[in-house]
Amino acid sequence: MPGNITCPKCKVKMIPMVDVKQSHIWYEKCNTCHGTFLDAGEFKDLKNKTVLDIIKDVLTGERKI
């Protein structure tokens, strides 16, 4: 689960989000500048859904923030 992350641009606390289609992917969104921040590999993972991603989704189940 994402931690308490501050927007590098606005210096406000960002909101942790989870991708609806790939529940193993977490990212942060800033409500002030509307920036979206992904960890290493998450953008690639969002772009390309693989068989491994489907398995991760099944094993992970629904995430709660």
Tens digit of each residue's pLDDT (9 = 90 or more) over 25-57: 888 999 999 998 888 777 777 777 677 777 777
What pLDDT is stored for residue 52 in this prediction? 76
For the record, the structure tokens of 52 come out as 């491994």
Decide if pLDDT at 1 tops 70: no
Which pLDDT band, with edges at 50, 70 and 90, does 65 fall under? low
Contacts of 27 (CB under 8 A, 6+ apart): 2, 16, 17, 18, 19, 36, 37, 38, 39, 42
Residue 17 above 60 pLDDT? Answer: yes
Instruction: Give the global pTM.
Output: 0.58
What pLDDT does 13 receive? 94
